[in-house]
Amino acid sequence: QSALTQPASVSGSPGQSITISCTGTSSDVGVYNYVSWYQQHPGKAPKLMIYEVSNRPSGVSNRFSGSKSGNTASLTISGLQAEDEADYYCSSYTSSITLFVLFGGGTKLTVL
């Protein structure tokens, strides 16, 4: 089964807002509210930023928000800061019997 589809890169200036999309199918993103987002800085482990589509773990800035429409989930970062520059991965539970969760290919966010 293919990974979820994310844009390879997005960019924005400090203070601006950006949105990263994550497109799946009716076997994953489209039917389950089990979409999560992870931030990964170079050489570091992924960090949970959003779970179950739109929930933020304790300690994650409210500048990060998530949503979903149909087969596409989105991560929005408002008030961009230099420290937001990182790779972002979406993930979704899948009903495929051979997979547990699918990850997106990752999006490199550059803060200009």
User: Which one, of 29, 70, 73, lies nearest residue 49 by Cα?
Assistant: 73
- The residues of the shown chain that bind other proteins, judged by CB under 8 A, are 3, 32, 34, 36, 38, 44-48, 51-52, 57, 89, 91-93, 98-106
β-strands 107-111, 9-12 pairing: parallel
Query: Which residues lie below 8 Å from residue 112, measured CB to CB, with a gap of 6+?
Result: 11, 12, 13, 14
To the nearest whole angstrom, how small is the minimum distance from the Cβ of residue 14 to other proteins?
Answer: 27
- Residue written as tokens 């087969």? 71
Task: Considering the complex, state which of residue 99 and residue 112 has its C-beta at the smaller distance from other proteins.
Answer: 99
Closest CB to other proteins among 13 and 100?
100
Rounded least distance, CB 109 to other proteins, Å: 14
